[in-house]
Amino acid sequence: MPINREKIKLLAQAWDKMLLGEKEALSSDLSCLDISALSSWVRDCSQIFEDIYAVNLEKIKNASPDDFGVMHDCVVDIFWQLDHIKNHIGDAEEGFPVLMSLLAKKAKLRGP
């Protein structure tokens, strides 16, 4: 199933709704910045991937086979865009284990 901007918006809203429901519990172990990092990766990373596919890879596809300048510029852009995603992962690194642990405890409380 293709994922478009509207679908990403809905998925991001669902993610934020889940986080909002756990905000009080998360706040006891995480800073506001950590919680923000858990929230922001969805929209930001999807936009970055969209840019990689729709812009850079499209340019490479359409470039002349000997247009190494365009290919180089696209590869550099892709590298920096992936680095941005890596930073989002690093920023959220503290929050994900706390969120997973919190949800696992709640899942065990409810049982199968």
> How do residues 50-59 score in pLDDT, each as one tens digit?
889 989 999 9
* Residue type at position 83: D
For position 111, what pLDDT does the model report? 64
CA 43, CA 58: separation in Å to the nearest integer?
Answer: 21
Mean pLDDT by groups of 10 residues along the chain of 112 residues: 77 93 93 92 88 93 96 97 94 94 88 63
- Nearest Cα to Cα of residue 54 among 72, 70, 74: 74
Quick one: pLDDT at residue 1? 46
Range list of β-strands (E), the chain:
none
Distance from C-alpha of 44 to C-alpha of 79, rounded to nearest angstrom: 16
Closest-CA residue to 45 (of 98, 17, 104, 3): 3
**Both structure tokens of 39:** 């929230």
Give the chain's end-to-end CA distance (angstroms, integer). Answer: 30
